[in-house]
Structure 1
C-alpha cells in the first residue's frame, strides 16, 4: 500500500544504520559457536562502582529527575573544564562547555550551528558514518579528503578543497573507523589552515582516553584558539562505560555555544540529568578505574596487532588505535557486504563493512577489538585464516567446520 504521507526525501535516501543492519544478520546464523562481536564500540563491562552508587543516590533524591541548566550541570562543566585544562595544558573554563546527549548530538548541534543547506564541510576518508549521514540529510555537502598511505590527512590537500561554501573541516582522532591518532603538530597545522580561511576546525575526540599517550592530544584548548574556531567534541560513553546514559560535550567559543543552545533547547532542552550526574561521578571519583580500563584496551590493541601481523588468511591490518582496527580483506572482486555476511554467517565473526565509512567499496571493514576478551584474538586469527584458505581454494565462505 502506498504511504499516505510524504517523508523528507533527504532522510529517505539514506540507508539504515549500518550497526543495525550488521546485527540484523545474527538471526540467520546456522550454528551455535560463540559469536565474536567486533561490531559496535560499546564497553562490555559496567560503570565504576563509585558511579553506580552516585547514580542510585541521585535516583532516590526528590530532585533527581529535575531539569538541569540548559548548558549542563555546573559541577560537571566545571570538573570537565578543569580536566581538559590539565590534560591539554590549556585554559578551558566551564563557559566553554555545553553538555549534550552524547557526542553524536554534540556533532549534530555544532555543525548545524555552523552550516546550513548549500554549505559544505570537509570530511577525511574514511569518515564516521553518522557524520556523513547528518550532513547530507541536512543539505550540507560533504567534501571528501583522501588521506595519504598512512591514513594521515594532508593540510595542503585539504586547502585545495576549500571554497567559499566550506564552513568547517572535521577531524576524528583517534579515528573511527581507522583508529589513526593524529599527531599534535598535524592538528595544529589544520587549525592554522582553518583560521586562514575563516572556517571552523571540528575535532571529534570521543576516544581521547585511548590514545596510548599521556601527552596532550593537541594544544588548542585555550581562549585564543577556541574563539578563533576550534571546536572539540567529547563523549563520556567509552572511558566511563556509560553509552546508554547519553552524555557528551561540545567545547567551543562563547558565541558558538550561544547558537548551540538555541538548537539544544528545541531538540532536548538539556542532556539527561542522570547521565550528567554519572559523568560527574566518573570524572571526580573514578580516576584509577578509568586508567585501568584504558590500560586494558591498550593491551587488547597490542594483542590484536600481534595476531594480525602475520596477515591470517590474507586479511591485512591497515591501521589501528583507539577502539578500532581498519582491515583489508583478501576477497578480490567480491563486494565487501557479501564478505561481511559470510564472516558472520559462516565464521561467526561480526564486523562492520567499510562501505559504511566510504563513498565506495574499497575492500575494507572495521573491527572493534575493544569488544572481546584478550584470549579471543587467537580464535579470530583462526577464523580469518580459514576464510582466507577457502578463498584460495576458490570456495568463498567454505571451510572452518562447525
Structure 2
C-alpha cells in the first residue's frame, strides 16, 4: 500500500487529526502481554459483549425468514422503530414527540454528522465544551467549521455566561454531551434549560448528544427540553442504541428534530448510507419492546462499577491522583506526574499493561489540562478488574 504523502488531499481533511482510538490502538502493535499482567483496555467506551441471546436469536430469525432484512428500507428508518422511539421518548421526557420528529441513523456519529450538515457549513462556528468528544471536533475540522472551545470549570460543567460570550455572527450551534464523553459528568436539567434559553435567544441550535442516557445515575427524565412548546425550533437530540443493547457492530442511532430539519437530513443520509441496516433496526425495535428489564440490569451493573471505582480510588488519591468526575462509561482523572499525559498514557501500556486516553485528545493544542488529565472508560471492567486497574495505576511511578 502506498503511503505517498504527496497525494493531493483536501486541506480540511489533511488538517483533521487521526482518530484517538485508532492512534491509541497503534500503541499496542508488536506488544505482547503476559498471563500475569494481561492488557486492561479502558480506552474505548463500547460494549465488548454481544447482544443478549434472546435478541441475537430474534435477529437471526429475522435474517432467515424476512426478505426485508436484506433490502433497502426507508431512508429515515423503519416506521415502526421511529414510532416506538417517539412513544418511548414522550413517556420518558414528558413531552410530545411524533414519529415524524425521529430519524434512525447508522449510529449516533452519523446522527451528529447528518444533522450538523444541515446546521453549519465551512466558515461557520460551533461551540464545543472542552474536554470535547473528539469525533465532534473531527467533523468540524473536516468541514472547515470552526470549533469554538468552551472550557469547563472545576465541576466539569460549562458556564452559561462563558458560552454567551462566545456567540458571534457565525455561530450556528452549541453541542453538549450528557452523560459526558469524555468526562462522564451528568449535566443538571437546570443547566440544559439555561443553554436551551441561550440558544433560542441567539437564534442558534442546541444539539444534545445523549448516547449514554440509559446509564445516567438519576432516575426519571434528565431534562425538560422536550416539554418546551417550541422545542423543534431550537433543540436536537442524538441517541445511540449501540450502548443500550450492545449493537455497536450494527450501527443504530436515533436523531430527534423537527420534520423540516429531518427533510434536509434525509438528503444527507440518502447520499451516505441510503438507509440504516435493517437487522440492526429490527434489533433496536425488539429491544424497546422486550428488553426493559434486561436494560435495567445493565444500568445497575454499570452504576455498580462506577461506585466501585469511586469507592476504591483512595490508593490513587494517596499517590496524588484526582478523580474529577464519573458517569456513563467514563471517569476523568488527573495524574500526579511532571510529564504530560500523552507520555504517561503511552508509558502505562508498557509498564502497567493499561491502555487509556490522554486528555490531549480532548482539548485544543496548548490547553494545560491536556497535560495532566486522563480518560478511563471503565464500563468493560468488572469490580475485580477495576480493583486491578487501581492497583496498577497506584504502582506506576511515572
TM superposition score normalised by structure 2: 0.94
Task: Pick from 18, 21, 39 the counterpart of residue 19 of structure 1.
Answer: 21
Q: Secondary structure at the match of 1:201?
A: strand
Unaligned runs of 5+ in 1: 391-395, 397-402
Aligned to 2:372: 363
Residues 319-344 of structure 1 show CA distances to partners (whole Å, capped at 9, x for unaligned) of 11110000111112x12121011111
Q: 1:151-166 maps to which residues of 2 (within 5 A)?
A: 151-166=156-171
2 CA distance for matches of 1:210 and 1:130?
21
Kindly provide the CA deviation profile for residues 124-152 of structure 1, in whole angstroms up to 9, marking residues without a partner as x.
01000000010011010011111221011
Structure 2 unaligned segments of length 5 or more: list them.
none
Q: Structure 1 residues 181 and 372, CA, compared in 2 at 3 Å: closer, same or farther?
A: same
What is the DSSP-based 3-state SS (H/G/I as helix, E as strand, rest coil) of the residue aligned with 1:203?
strand
Contact 2:15 2:141 in 1 (8 A): no
1:113-262 alignment runs, 5 A limit: 113-222=118-227, 224-262=229-267
CA RMSD of aligned residues (A): 1.5
Q: Is the 8 A contact 2:63 2:70 kept in 1?
A: yes
Partner deviation per Cα, 1:153-187 (whole Å, 9 max, x = no partner): 11111101001100000110000000010011110
Match of 2:57 in 1: 53
Q: Any idea what the Cα deviations from partners look like across 1:265-284, whole Å, max 9, x if unmatched?
A: 11111111111111111111
The normalised TM-score by structure 1 is 0.93
The answer to whether the 8 Å contact 1:29/1:344 transfers is: no
Structure 1 residue ranges, 4+ long, deviating more than 6 angstroms after superposition? none
Please say if residues 48 and 282 of structure 1, whose CA atoms lie closer than 8 Å, have aligned partners that are also in contact.
Answer: no
The 1-side partners of 2:51 and 2:318 are apart by 35
Q: 3-state DSSP class of the match of 2:9?
A: coil
Distance 1:282 1:2, change over 3 A: closer
Contact 2:33–2:39 (CA<8 Å) still a contact in 1? no
- Contact 1:312–1:382 (8 Å) recurs in 2: no
Sort the Cα spacing of 1:27 and 1:4 in 2 relative to 1 into closer, same or farther, 3 A.
closer
C-alpha contact (below 8 Å) 2:24/2:357 kept by paired residues:
yes
Q: CA deviation at 1:28?
A: 4.1
